[in-house]
A = this chain, B = another copy of it.
Amino acid sequence: ARRGYPEAVYCSGKTPAQVAAIAAAVGQRPDVITLFTRAGAEHADAVRAALPDAHHDPDAALLAWPPALPPPAGGTVLVVAAGTSDLPVAREALLTARYLGREADLIVDVGVAGLHRILGHLPALRAAQAIVVAAGMDGALPSVVAGLVTAPVIAVPTSVGYGAAFNGLAPLLAMLNACAPGVAVVNIDNGYGAGHLAAQITAPR
């Protein structure tokens, strides 16, 4: 594990056979948690053939082995998804943070078109030491959240939307221009990176 954190195997673009070979090697190192990210159905089958007890979250397209979460330490992470379509990215962030050893929770469907939804979660927002916000389309939610809390906000633009969303470019630009300070941006759809960053920010000191 690079720098004390789990290893990650990015499955997209790899053949099931390649993933199977990696999974077999992973099985030799039970002391290190390995995450298989962006794993489609065939990738998942390949992993589970080698590592039958791997934890699999199909929504996040993620598998983890060994399956047990490490005991939580450090600060808490809150993952917020603007809409249900942002859920795969949000769950990838959630599980990454948990397998890096953080306590982490998820709030969904709190887009800014209905402010009462996000405002109804103020206590949870203010209790977190780091907040991941996944949003597509106008990418407005991180600006609003960052204005409500003092913890750093990690903004993940998603490719949710169509037309002038340009596969996530619109929320990416919006988040880079967030009108509140305290917003850290990662790549479009990069739930893994967001969860990793949140875990680093909240690491035990």
Contact = CB atoms under 8 A, between A and B. Distances in A.
A99 interface: no
A112 B174 contact: no
A165 B140 contact: no
A173 B187 CA distance: 9
Interface residues of A, number: 76
Interface string A172-194: 11111111111111111110110
A29 B18 CA distance: 38
A60 B47 CA distance: 26
Contacts of A176: 163-164, 170, 172, 185-188
A152 B193 CA distance: 11
A110 to B, nearest CB: 11
A39 interface: no
- Max count, chain B CB within 10 A of own CB: residue among A4, A152, A181, A190: A181
A124 interface: no
A179 B138 contact: yes
A143 interface: yes
A163 B189 contact: yes
Interface of A: 2-5, 8, 12-14, 75, 82-85, 111-115, 119, 129, 136-140, 143-144, 146-152, 154, 157, 159-190, 192-193, 196-197, 200-201, 203, 205
24 contacts: A111-B179, A112-B143, A112-B144, A113-B144, A113-B180, A115-B119, A115-B144, A115-B147, A138-B178, A138-B179, A140-B144, A152-B184, A163-B168, A163-B177, A163-B188, A164-B187, A165-B177, A165-B187, A169-B173, A170-B177, A171-B177, A183-B186, A184-B197, A185-B186
Given A138-B143, A150-B203, A183-B186, 17 more contacts: A13-B160, A14-B85, A83-B179, A111-B179, A112-B144, A115-B119, A115-B144, A139-B174, A140-B140, A150-B200, A164-B187, A166-B173, A170-B177, A181-B192, A181-B197, A182-B197, A205-B205
